[in-house]
Amino acid sequence: MKPKKQGKILELFITKNDAQKTRQSVAFVKVDNDGIVEDKFYAKNILRSILITATDSYKITKENNIELPWGSLGENIVTDINPYHLVCGDKLSIGKNILEITQNCTLCKGLTSVNPKLPKLLKDDRGIFVKVISGAGIINVGDEIKIL
């Protein structure tokens, strides 16, 4: 598979499965077929195990006078390449890991708690869900992301 486009991983997030559901920015995440190890969604729903959001989503919010720090949309991975045009079954490469798109991110009530305008504003531009299909390993901030 020859990559079509390349980008970079700009930031990574996990949400701990503690009482406070602590959300934190991390330098790397460990991934396997069940998602991101140590994330609260690990081994819950393979089709929704990892959420990738493009910086374009944050540009849309900013253009609509909603300033949000990265991570506010619930994503695990922030990238500078926009993969929202891809379809289920398309593949991405990050480091030695191959990820497969499982679905576009659907609207959720959680966005309303961030800002009531977000669900409608980001209807088709919040992110994509992926699952790991090979190469269980590490994803680092700064890794290249390639559309295969």
Q: Give residue-wise pLDDT tens across range 23-43.
A: 899 999 999 999 999 999 999
Which position has the higher pLDDT, 126 or 12?
12
d(CA 111, CA 140): 26
Amino acid identity at 101: I
The answer, yes or no, to whether residue 136 has pLDDT greater than 90, is: no
The answer, yes or no, to whether residue 1 has pLDDT greater than 80, is: no
The answer, yes or no, to whether residue 2 has pLDDT greater than 60, is: no
Task: Give percent of the chain above pLDDT 70.
Answer: 94
pLDDT number for residue 116: 86
CA distances from 51 to 45, 78, 87, 96, 100 (A): 12, 9, 14, 18, 11
Query: pLDDT (tens digit, 9 = 90+) per residue, 91-127?
Result: 999 989 999 999 888 767 777 888 888 888 888 888 9
Tell me which of 3.40.30.10, 2.10.50.10, 2.40.33.20, 1.10.760.10 is the CATH number of domain 5-147: 2.40.33.20
pLDDT number for residue 142: 96
> What count of other Cβ atoms lies within 10 Å of the Cβ of residue 4?
10
Residue 9 is encoded by which pair of tokens? 């991983």
- The ranges assigned to domains in the chain are 5-147
> Residues 85-95: what's their mean pLDDT?
93
Residue 90 is encoded by which pair of tokens? 């398309």
pLDDT number for residue 120: 86
